[in-house]
Amino acid sequence: MRQGRERVGYQLIVVSVLVLIAAVLASLSLGATGITLSALGRVLHAYVFGSTDAERVTEQLVLLDIRLPRTLLGVFVGAALAVSGAMMQGLFRNPLADPGIVGVSSGAALAAVATIALGNSLAAPWTKAFGVYALPFAAFLGGFLTTTLLVLIAGRRGQLMVGTLLLAGIAIGAMSGALTGLIAYASDDRELRDLTLWSLGSLSGASWPKVMAILPFMAIIFLALPRVTRALNGFLLGEAEAFHLGIDVERMKWLIIFATAASVGAAVAVAGIVGFVGIVVPHFIRLIAGPDHRFVLPCSALLGAALLLLADVIARLAVRPAELPLGIVMAAIGAPVFLHLVLRRGVGGLE
């Protein structure tokens, strides 16, 4: 049993890799145009040797310029959301914590909503300056500024106080929510529709520039992961215990906060608000392999990516040729699965 749980952890990593590969293949081969995976070989051949065949060119366009960036974006966003959820839960020693809870998501959302609604009036210079990047960049900046503000409030005595951080996060989240509501209230019908669609989340705007834009943030989070794994395990015992175990508590807290801000800001920037990944995925993994972050973090990244891709495939296929918002699909899949887990397995030590 003892070695059992560790072995389960390693097995889960392997299974997660396989699930992600399957999800990537599904995401590449399923879609509105009916171009399937068998086209991939032809496209690669045509790409390498050059082809002017119109059908090949169409297939190439769909696979390489539409589905591939969309799939990569899905992988990045899913992994970032799930990992930042897992890190927040570890830092706050609370399985219900989520990037939303410290206001990072709502700060990013406020900035994005402001850009959408005020793009033609107050924020016109901003949209003019950044063009297509105005929205993603604003969202990232919003998330980053919120985090910085939080850290300044909760860290003003040189120590990052988690309790203060949590409460300040809830307050800042409520404030951003109010401002977002105010902007929505003042918007006209067309803007309101854009806002609603954006807030439901989507990968439909995927493009290579967006993939490139999110890449540095992914690099930050994946460089941070191996450094915070042991610290997060120690944090589960309590901050004082973590210190006694030899963990540089303050440095680790800052590192986790900034990695989370970077990943959530980037994810919201390119995909809007997609809920549930950050809570469901780490929770599912803990139920199977226990709370050891050596398994929780890598499996969260892999399965978070897979879950997001599968939800996106469903979003693309369900109402062809139109698309469902990703957030709706995610909630429709995530909520019942989550409820089932909670009812069958309990809340995993929460009580």
Partner 1 sequence: MLEAREIVLERRGRRLLDGIDIAIPSGLVTAIVGPNGAGKSMLLKVLAGELAPTAGSVQLDGKDLRTFSALALARRRAMVPQSTNLSFPFTVVEVVRLGASVPGFDGIKTRAHELADQALQCVGLEGFGARLYNELSGGEKQRVHIARALCQLDAAHRAEGETTVLMLDEPTSSLDLAHQVRVLDEARRQASIGRAVLLVIHDLNLAAAWADDIVLVSAGRIRARGKPAEIFDNGILSEAYGCAIQVNRTPAPGVPYMLPHLIAAASRRGEAG
Contacting residues toward partner 1, per CB under 8 A: 1-5, 93-95, 230, 233-234, 236-238, 240-241, 243-249, 286, 290-292, 348-350
Is residue 112 within 8 Å of 138, Cβ to Cβ?
yes
Nearer to partner 1, 118 or 245 (CB): 245
CA–CA dist 295, 312 (Å, integer): 25
Nearer to partner 1, 50 or 246 (CB): 246
Tell whether the torsion through CA atoms of 102, 132, 319 and 308 is positive or negative.
Answer: negative
Nearer to partner 1, 99 or 234 (CB): 234
Nearer to partner 1, 95 or 136 (CB): 95
Nearer to partner 1, 209 or 238 (CB): 238
Cα distances (angstroms) measured from residue 305 to each of 193, 278, 285, 298, 308: 28, 11, 14, 11, 5
Q: How far is the CB of 251 from partner 1 (least distance, A)?
A: 9
3-state percent breakdown (helix, strand, coil) of the chain, nearest 5 = 80, 0, 20
Nearer to partner 1, 99 or 282 (CB): 282
Is residue 272 within 8 Å of 327, Cβ to Cβ?
yes
Q: How far is the CB of 70 from partner 1 (least distance, A)?
A: 35
Tokens of 254: 């800052």
Nearer to partner 1, 136 or 291 (CB): 291
Is residue 164 within 8 Å of 150, Cβ to Cβ?
no
Q: How far is the CB of 240 from partner 1 (least distance, A)?
A: 6
Q: How far is the CB of 8 from partner 1 (least distance, A)?
A: 12
Question: How many CB atoms lie under 10 A from the CB of residue 35?
Answer: 23
Q: How far is the CB of 47 from partner 1 (least distance, A)?
A: 45
Is residue 337 within 8 Å of 283, Cβ to Cβ?
no
Q: How far is the CB of 176 from partner 1 (least distance, A)?
A: 27
Q: Which of 173, 172, 169, 165 is nearest to 254 (CA)?
A: 165
Torsion of CA 6, 8, 10, 14, to 10 degrees: 180
CA–CA dist 224, 302 (Å, integer): 16
Tell whether the torsion through CA atoms of 281, 287, 291 and 295 is positive or negative.
Answer: negative
Q: How far is the CB of 250 from partner 1 (least distance, A)?
A: 9
Report the first-to-last Cα separation within the chain, whole angstroms: 23
Q: How far is the CB of 253 from partner 1 (least distance, A)?
A: 13
Nearer to partner 1, 8 or 192 (CB): 8
